[in-house]
Amino acid sequence: MSRHRIVKNLDLDDEMDDQAFDSEGEDYDDMTEEQQVQMSSALTAVHSVLGSATPITDREIRSALWDSYFDVDGTVAFLLDELHKKEAAKAKAEAKKLARQTSQPPSARSTRPSTPAGSKPSTSTAKAVPKATPLAGPVSSLRADLEGMNLLPSSSSSTASSAAASELMEVPVDNSPPPAIAMAKEKILEEVKERERSEKPVLSLVVVGHVDAGKSTLMGRVLHELGEISDRSVEQNQRQSQKMGKGSFAYAWTFDALEEERERGVTIDISLDTFSTSTKRFTLIDAPGHRDFIPNMISGAAQADTAVLVVDGSSGAFERGFEGGGQTREHAVLVRSLGVQQLVVAVNKLDAVNWSQTRFESIRSQLQPFLTQSGFQPTKVSFIPVGAMSGENLVERRELSLDWYEGRTLVEQLDSLDVPTRALDAPLRIPVSNVFKGQSATASGLAVSGRVESGIVQVGERLCALPGDESGAVRALEVDGELVPYAVAGVNATVFLSGIDPLHLNVGTVLCPPHQPVPVVSSFTAQIMVFDLKYPITAGYAVELFHHSRDIPATISSLDAVLDKTSGAVTKKNPRMLTKGSSARIHVQLRPPTSGASRRTTIPLESFAANKSMGRVLFRRGGETIAAGIVLDVIS
């Protein structure tokens, strides 16, 4: 074997074919004793970085070490690089397969109710928040995920979302003079404080959990029992679901209104609804559990104050959702990373294990330590035994077999949650999660929806849409389907805009006052926590960056320091790589969506210190969430 090849140009597959490496160890017979010692210690060093789960074989490591004269760093970098190339090729092949499977006409792929194009689809409950024709739907965000990783060709045509987008383009720009501003901000603040004393506070709640844990059934049943959806609507869903041979999904259909969701029996997109308990009003976000739709789940969780994690208590099912590959862990970590501090764990399907207390306790004892480790304070986590299908312990307790349980029902627990302090005095920030041609009973025209993350927005106000140079005026505002003069931090609002072309509005656009704009940046530094990684993060690592409803390709361009997890003190400067469980300071550079594109990619982003909800980011790669963190500094 030659030791003159440049390690960077080595190809592992070629090496595997090399007859010189037919049997382990044999190739190194002619090594001196000193070389054997070097090889052995270098091999141990490489192993300590790659970990025991690595698919890279000892033979491959030895070969690269030999060629690099036992350079551990060079060997690790080379091996990881080769591995990433192989994985990218594999993912590309899979993505191609997926693209082939999904290349049906737009109508068949529609992920929204089949309403007239561009109009607001009817929703299942009177109070439902508009679920409108989106610019970018769930499949397009899944595609964007793949495109971002350069795994799919750009999808500028032939998707349902582009059809919706072209309809939006036809919405004429409303140039009528905007309504006058009616109230001074100080007056609104006074009014809000007054109303806080007399009205129920609003909390947004996301429902997450492994696929098929029973999330949609559970929340459908809760809404029905609270009288938010009519018996008639439930009966209709029961009849229709039975007709399709999916009778057990009747309650889930309250949320899973899309044709594809009903056919497949899985939630694809997030859906919003509202309900009230004795002391609170909730905006409910039902998120998909399937791993393919995690980008949608992230978009939903980014808008939430609190979460219900539904786990399937039936035999073996909890374990399937919790162990490797299940979404229970990932969802819990994601919601915590996105700022959720209070978690209600609904241990569902206990009817399937005869309402066993032992099973409930066993699930609690497996999950609790993991949740604590993921950053949830034990006092902020509660476990509630439930049976979503029969409605047991949701609003009331009726099953005698749950006699052993003396705690709260699910709804009582939700009612007892704390309401976070809202950043009413901070500059207005509305990250857009939907752009559509609104057509409600009260208003119509170009509209966007999203959560008011901070500040106050009122009718007549001029807002800029970032990134870009455009601004428009707020023509009307809707909250829970009703016209309102203003909307404050913490609520999900629909904003009807005039004087702006839909071209300048996208999912991920941030609306803010022109005199207090969000910085628009192409790179930033962040403090991150590294999750369960297959391979360590090295400088130049390609990722998909998630910020609210936006996901965008980026590169972790440098690793600045490893930090102590508790104190945040620097323990190592300029590390070679970041492994699972480490905390670190990194530098992130956004990439153009397609390789070779010359346009600089930018996003509106703020440091966590400036605005907590605008300063959280998540990093995914190859369909896995690999890290989460907070923005330290933005670099324009």
Using CB under 6 A, list all residues that contact ligand GTP. Answer: 209, 211-217, 248-249, 252, 266-267, 288-290, 348-349, 351-352, 387-389
Nearest to 496 by CA among 169, 270, 137, 174: 174
Q: At 326, list the tokens.
A: 């299940």
Q: Which residue, among 78, 66, 77, has the nearest Cα to 12 in the 3D structure?
A: 78
Closest distance to ligand GTP from the beta carbon of 322 (Å): 14
Smallest separation (angstroms) from ligand GTP to the CB of 442: 31
Please state, in angstroms and rounded to a whole number, the distance separating the CA atoms of residues 392 and 374. 29
The beta-carbon contacts of 194-203 under 8 Å, at least 24 apart in sequence, are 200/276, 200/279, 200/280, 200/281, 201/279, 201/280, 201/281, 201/419, 202/280, 202/281, 202/282, 202/283, 202/419, 202/490, 202/491, 203/280, 203/281, 203/282, 203/283, 203/305, 203/306, 203/417, 203/419, 203/490
Helical residues (DSSP H) of 302-405, grouped into ranges: 317-322, 327-337, 357-373
In the complex, least distance from residue 214 CB atom to ligand GTP, rounded to whole angstroms: 3
Provide, rounded to whole angstroms, the least separation between the CB of residue 250 and ligand GTP: 8
Nearer residue to ligand GTP within complex by CB, 216 or 439 = 216
Q: Closest separation between CB of residue 240 and ligand GTP, Å?
A: 15
Nearest to 534 by CA among 325, 270, 380, 349: 325
For ligand GTP, the closer CB: 211 or 543: 211
Q: Exposed, middle or buried: residue 260 (CB in 10 Å: 0-12, 13-18, 19+)?
A: middle
Query: Which residue, chain included where needed, has tokens 């980014």?
Result: 302
Shortest distance in whole angstroms from residue 216 CB to ligand GTP: 3
User: Which are the contacts of 465, defined by CB distance < 8 A and separation ≥ 6?
Assistant: 471, 472, 500, 504, 505, 509, 510, 511
> Given the complex with ligand GTP, which of 130 and 288 has the nearer CB atom?
288
Helix (H, G, I), strand (E, B) or coil at 28: helix
- Paired strand residues for 464: 471, 512
Q: Which lies closer to ligand GTP via its Cβ, residue 283 or residue 538?
A: 283
Three-state secondary-structure class, residue 234: helix
Q: How far apart are CA 109 and CA 386, in angstroms?
A: 35
| Beta carbon nearer to ligand GTP, 82 or 269 | 269
Least distance (Å) from ligand GTP to the CB of residue 547? 24
Residue number, 294 or 488, with CB nearest to ligand GTP: 294
- Which residues lie below 8 Å from residue 195, measured CB to CB, with a gap of 6+? none
Three-state SS at 207: strand
Distance (Å, rounded) from C-alpha 161 to C-alpha 582? Answer: 38
By beta-carbon proximity to ligand GTP, the closer residue of 78 and 249 is 249
Residue 414 CB, nearest approach to ligand GTP (Å): 18
Q: How far is the CB of 415 from ligand GTP (least distance, A)?
A: 21
How near is the Cβ of 127 to ligand GTP at its closest, in Å?
A: 20
Q: Nearer Cβ to ligand GTP, position 130 or 214?
A: 214
Helix (H, G, I), strand (E, B) or coil at 576: coil
Which of residues 289 and 460 has its CB atom nearest to ligand GTP in the complex? 289
Residue 65 or 211 with smaller CB distance to ligand GTP? 211
Shortest gap between Cβ of 48 and ligand GTP (angstroms)? 38
Residue with nearest beta carbon to ligand GTP: 289
CB of 280 or CB of 290, closer to ligand GTP:
290
Surface-to-core class of residue 288, CB atoms within 10 Å of its CB (0-12 exposed, 13-18 middle, 19+ buried):
buried
Angle at 99 between CA 97 and CA 103, to 5 degrees: 125
Report the run of H or E that residue 554 belongs to, with start and end. strand 550-563
